[in-house]
Amino acid sequence: MDAEEDGELMLRYARGDLRAFEKLYRRYRRPLYRYLSRHTRNPESANDLFQEVWSKVIASRERYEPRAKFRTFLYRIAHNSFVDHCRRNSVRKELRAEAPGDEDWGWLAAPEEERPDMRLQELQTFMRFRAAVADLPAEQRDVFLLYEETGLSLEEIAIVTGVGMETAKSRLRYAVSKLRRAMGPVPVTAGAAGRVAEEQGA
């Protein structure tokens, strides 16, 4: 289904169609949780925020207008919820880089190439990349995670984060540049590097 159908599902849910909401939930639960978990690096916080975001979606169903894509609407809520979470709890430590061995990411559902049984070299590369992402300034990390984990365009990310298109593009460019320097000859990710090149060339 495309974004217009997402909007139609939300409108149907506002009219009382619970099956429409179930479809939206199944479609976005994994990328949304992944986005929140990469941000918080804490399973309890990620779960709390995950529930909070969907609660806000439910609460706003009657006010929803499909002028923007549903996923933009969803991640705007997620972004603001995370910002509020940081303000409420003063969890600035969640925004600072931690040594790779200091945190347990075992609770994340990792792709096959990121499983503990991968080759040692691949595991070391993954750990370096994880630490490099955590070391990014908060604004750059937010844009990078939105770009990499959700499939949003730069225009949509600008809306989600409440900044201009050029600011979002600049933050992403700096993030990818810093990750490339941190990783040395190892590619950042094919998705990020490719999409950044495409959008910057547009």
What residue type is 87 in one-letter code?
Answer: R
Residue-level pLDDT at 133: 84
**Domain ranges within the chain, ordered by starting residue:** 1-90, 110-202
Region 148-157: what's the mean pLDDT?
A: 87
Question: In this structure, what token pair is assigned to residue 20?
Answer: 């429409």
Read out DSSP for 102-164?
A: GS--TTS---GGGSTTS-HHHHHHHHHHHHHHHTS-HHHHHHHHIIIII---HHHHHHHHTS-
Q: Global pTM?
A: 0.67
Q: In this predicted model, what pLDDT tens digit does every residue of 40-76 receive, in sequence order?
A: 888 888 899 999 999 999 999 888 887 778 999 999 9
- CATH class of this structure's domain 110-202: mainly alpha
Architecture of domain 1-90: Orthogonal Bundle (1.10)
User: What span, in angstroms and rounded, lies between the C-alpha atoms of 53 and 71?
Assistant: 12
Residue-level pLDDT at 68: 74
Angle subtended at Cα 47 by Cα 45 and Cα 51, rounded to the nearest 5 degrees: 115
Give 185's pLDDT tier (boundaries 50, 70, 90): low
Region 115-126: what's the mean pLDDT?
A: 59
Closest CA to 38 of 116, 122, 141, 161: 141
